[in-house]
Amino acid sequence: MSKFEFPPSIKSRPVWGTLEPRAGKHHLMIADAAGAEAILGIATPELMAGTHIIYIPRGADHADALRAQNPAQFYEGPTYAASVSRIRRVLQDASMGLQVYLTGTEGLMGQAMHEAMQAGIPHTAIQTEHRGSVARRMQCVHCKGITEDVETDPFVCSHCGLNLFVRDHYSRRLAAYQGVCIDAEDPGNVPEPKGIYE
């Protein structure tokens, strides 16, 4: 249950919080993988009675534990991409005062936050808590392709194949960090990939 402490960084890099139950009739909780643990940490029968949970297990086995909390609605999706149309539909109906909780990987939180912002909810009103993998969703600044779950720096763009280094510069609109060619000035000189926070 230990949480990863992200090192201090630049001002475009998101800072994730800690979920806490808020007053309100309607609650939307979107989580992937270990994010389920953050929901379980704040779940009470009263809160769950007004909560719609959207959960993407990604190999984790928390779905039954979440279901056992008796949320008003529960959906288990195989991938974020498969779930996003449902997320949009739910946000479309969101009434004033809907509380949004996002937890799990940065990629999940970033993309779901983008959907909530598109629905008119200010990002500052959305609760977040990082859990699980510290992998990043990266945009290649050159080809614009997104590579999900990047764990190393540098990495190879899954679209154009350039060797990219991992920046902390982050776009909420794209829900992605920026990847930039690492060997442009010395082609082929690519350092050995390391974990992003190593």
- Name the site residues for another protein (rule: CB under 8 A): 10-13, 139, 141-142, 144, 162, 167-169, 171-174, 178, 180-181, 184-187
Tell the smallest beta-carbon distance from residue 172 to another protein (Å).
7
Q: Is the CB of 48 or the CB of 150 nearer to another protein?
A: 150
d(CA 129, CA 122): 17
Q: Is the CB of 36 or the CB of 157 nearer to another protein?
A: 157
Q: Is the CB of 148 or the CB of 183 nearer to another protein?
A: 183
Q: Is the CB of 9 or the CB of 70 nearer to another protein?
A: 9
d(CA 129, CA 113): 12
Question: CA of 2: how far to CAs of 5, 34, 133, in Å?
Answer: 9, 11, 12
Residue 43 sits at φ, ψ, to 5 deg, of -70, 130
Structure tokens at 144: 């614009």
Tell the smallest beta-carbon distance from residue 187 to another protein (Å).
7
Tell the smallest beta-carbon distance from residue 10 to another protein (Å).
4
Nearest alpha-carbon partner for 56 in 126, 109, 118, 115: 109
Residue 178 sits at φ, ψ, to 5 deg, of -100, 130
Tell the smallest beta-carbon distance from residue 178 to another protein (Å).
6
